[in-house]
Structure 1
Amino acid sequence: MASHRRAKQPNTRYASVLTVTAAAAVAISTQSASADPLPDPNKKGVKAQVDRLYEEATQATEKYNGAKEKADGLEKQVGDLQDAAARKQGELNEMRNRLGSIAAGQYRAGGLDPSIQLLLSTQPDTYLEKASDLDRLSSRQAEELDEFQAQQRELQQQRTQATRKLKDLEDTRTELGKKKKEIQGKLAEARRLLNTMTAKERASMVAEEDRANRSSARADLGNEASASQRAAAAFNAAKSRVGMPYVWGATGPNSFDCSGLTSWAFRQAGVGIPRTSQAQASAGTRISSMSALKPGDLVIMRSDLSHVGFYAGNGQILHAPKPGAQVRYESMARSGMPFMWGVRIS
């Protein structure tokens, strides 16, 4: 396995020179998701307030992502049920026409009582053969009637299911709208606060981001191999996105939130994993000890499981950290986010 030391970082120059205000504006207009730790609520200052708003926005983003995934699933289920109901209605229409033709034929052939028809028949043997055929026809008709009624019941069940799913979808879309409004409100407030900062305060925040990006470029990942070829392929895909901006709700290829990056990277490796960090926390084999992590394992952070990234080796995480930041390497020990466990996708 090749060394994981300092992967090439494409297109990082533009991100490192963004002012904090501009980065926040991008986050508002395009969207953002899950990152660093909740600052001390008693700590004062604009930066502390902005950090807290970003944190709250990223946590809300994972809830938004979950609702979006649910809505997408419900839309597919509703479509499938409606298609199945349409096909079933077509089958019932054919059965109804067939039963109607049989009934009409029997009505036209009716008249005398069968025993009288036999007495008057000039060819009793032929009549008996026809009567036997009629008995078999009546038996088939009865079976078709039973089948028709069973199909009617199934159609009604499908329509009832579709109605229920449509109601669930409506409720989920309402939830999506609320989460989107909440995220945008927090990011708008962060932008307002950033605009109140002095030039010196802004320069300090820009310098802090520059330091984080320079540290990412110098990250020593060691030479440890991934646990599987799929994990290695996903990790390599994520490494190719270093320098791309964090945008809430984004799943690539040119912007990401935290779980958007990990799910996109595994798709490039031909592996489907859930969309949200909370769902990804149960997507594979749990690795409880940080010392047992291998490059390409997922790293689940925070007690509410609202952040995820890739273990990059040598105590580093590769992730999309927060609004105004870019995909980068960071020391897990210095991230300020508590490690919960790792997840190995085989």
Structure 2
Amino acid sequence: MGSHRRLAPSGSDRGAGVAVGLLSVAAAALAAAPAGAAPHDDTRARVDRLYQEAERATEAYNEADERADALREQVRARQDRIAREQDRVNTMREVLGALAGAQYRSGGLDPALALLLSTEPEEYLEKASVLDRISTRQAGELAELQAALRRLTQERAEAARQLVALDRSRKAVAAHKRTVERKLAEARRLLNSLPDGERAAYDRASRSSRTDLAGAVTGGAPASGRAAAAVAAARAALGRPYVWGGSGPGGFDCSGLVQWSYAQAGVALPRTSQAQAGAGRQVPLSQMRPGDLVTYRDDASHIGMYAGDGRVIHAPYPGAPVRYDPVGMMPISSVTRV
């Protein structure tokens, strides 16, 4: 892959406090709105903001969950190494015990005195030679045992640190999950408060092109065989439900759909939309081709796959299945070719 620009973090890691602050500002703005403002327009705008904030929290959830999975694997591998090292230490201790026993059975007299008292000097010298070899081996085994014990202590200390990090990561996953659930519940409540016609208008508005891209997108064929295979996989997912944190095959969030589609083409992509935006080569909008990843908003909190004909395939938000929408449905942050 060529060089590429990594987008700045979405800000999700700053926690739910930022989102709460945004909601407070939004509430103040609504309170200050003129009396003639259309209440249904305000409700739709609030729903849109809640979905955006829930999507940011979802991407933060995905990142924290991925980090927890990686830490779990690291802890498991380290615990396996600790078990093997402990077995090695136990074996070396047994060997040292056997050597110490042999040394004890050879007697503890001063070598010169033992030679003087020996009735068979030649036999003594032979035993002394064996004892010397035992002592030399014992010293080597002892040094190796000490080194193994140091390694074991280090492994256990690192495993303890990783377990603490894993616990923090699990708590972060749970916190992001609560944030997502709270915002989605509020968005559903607001949508349900709208008349049927207004709810339909909201869905139409979410599917409209907010940018005039006529003539700006050339389209054409996919840039590679793997891009063509990824587009085919994404098309096969059309109609499947939005599931936050979902990475298929039964349901997807936005980055889960992109990751799954490219996995069907044999390409491993990161889990979050921000990481996916940096997983390839950035291309101009005018050169966009099917299979390219289209990232939206300044924080890259939403992503879809260009399908040609001015449309993307994406997982929009809860209640809306995987579908085609205009590529200009919201401000485009970048286009990435994998």
TM-score, reference length from structure 2: 0.80
**SS, match of residue 273 in structure 1:** coil
In the TM superposition, what whole-angstrom CA distance separates every residue of 1:1-34 from its partner, at most 9, and x where no partner exists?
A: xxxxxxxxxxxxxxxxxxxxxxxxxxxxxxxxxx
Deviations 1:325-346 (A, max 9, x none): 121222222x122x2222222x
Match of 2:195 in 1: 198
Distance in 2 of aligned mates of 1:329 and 1:226: 17
> Quick check: 1:325 aligned with 2:302?
no
Equivalent residue number for residue 152 of structure 2: 155
Number of residue equivalences: 295
Closer, same or farther: CA 170–293 of 1 in aligned 2, 3 Å: same
Task: Please give the alpha-carbon distance, in whole angstroms, between the structure 2 residues aligned to 1:292 and 1:207.
Answer: 28
Match of 2:185 in 1: 188
Could you say if the C-alpha distance between residues 74 and 232 of structure 1 is closer, same or farther in structure 2, counting changes exceeding 3 Å? same
Correspondences of 1:133-282 after superposition (within 5 Å): 133-205=130-202, 224-282=220-278
- Residue pair 2:219, 2:289 contacting (<8 A) in 1 also: no
Contact 2:279 2:336 in 1 (8 A): yes
Offset from partner CA, 1:47-71 (integer Å, 9 cap, x none): 2221111111111110111011011
User: Aligned with 2:267: secondary structure?
Assistant: coil
In structure 2, which of residues 76, 79, 83 is the aligned counterpart of residue 79 of structure 1? 76
DSSP-derived class of the 1:329 partner: strand
| CA deviation string 1:159-184 (max 9, x = no partner) | 11111111111111111111111111
Counterpart code for 2:109: L
Give the Cα separation in 2 of the matches to 1:62 and 1:91: 44
Shift of 1:110: 1.2
Pair 266,200 (structure 1): closer, same or farther in 2 beyond 3 Å: closer
- Using the TM superposition, give the Cα deviation of residue 131 of structure 1 relative to its aligned residue in structure 2, in angstroms: 2.1
1:207 shift after superposition: 6.0
CA deviations over 1:261-314 (Å, ceiling 9, x no partner):
011112212221111111112222232x11222211222222111112212224
Q: CA deviation at 1:86?
A: 1.4
Deviation at 1:320, TM superposition (A): 1.1
User: 2:143 and 2:51 mapped to 1: Cα distance?
Assistant: 62
Give the residue type in structure 2 aligned to 1:243: G
- 2:96, 2:222 → 1: CA distance? 65
Q: Report the equivalent of 1:336.
A: 330
Following superposition, the deviation at residue 96 of structure 1 comes to: 0.8
Q: Which residue number corresponds to residue 106 of structure 1?
A: 103
Residue 10 of structure 2: aligned partner: none
What residue number does 2:66 align with?
69
Provide closer, same or farther for how the CA distance between residues 292 and 125 of structure 1 changes in structure 2, counting only shifts above 3 A: farther
**Which one is further off, 120-129 or 252-261?**
120-129
**How far off is 1:222 after superposition?**
8.5
Unaligned runs of 5+ in 1: 1-37, 213-220
| RMSD over aligned Cα atoms | 2.4
Query: What's 1:31 paired with?
Result: none
Structure 1 residue matching 2:270: 3-state secondary structure = coil
Q: Distance in 2 between matches of 1:237 and 1:104?
A: 69
Structure with the bigger RCO (C-alpha within 8 Å, sep 6+) is 1
Task: Assess if the C-alpha contact under 8 Å between 2:96 and 2:138 holds in 1.
Answer: yes
The AA in structure 1 aligned to 2:250 is: N
Contact 2:219 2:310 in 1 (8 A): no
TM-score by length of 1: 0.79
* CA deviation after TM superposition for structure 1 residue 75, in Å: 1.0
* Contact 2:218/2:288 (<8 A) preserved: no
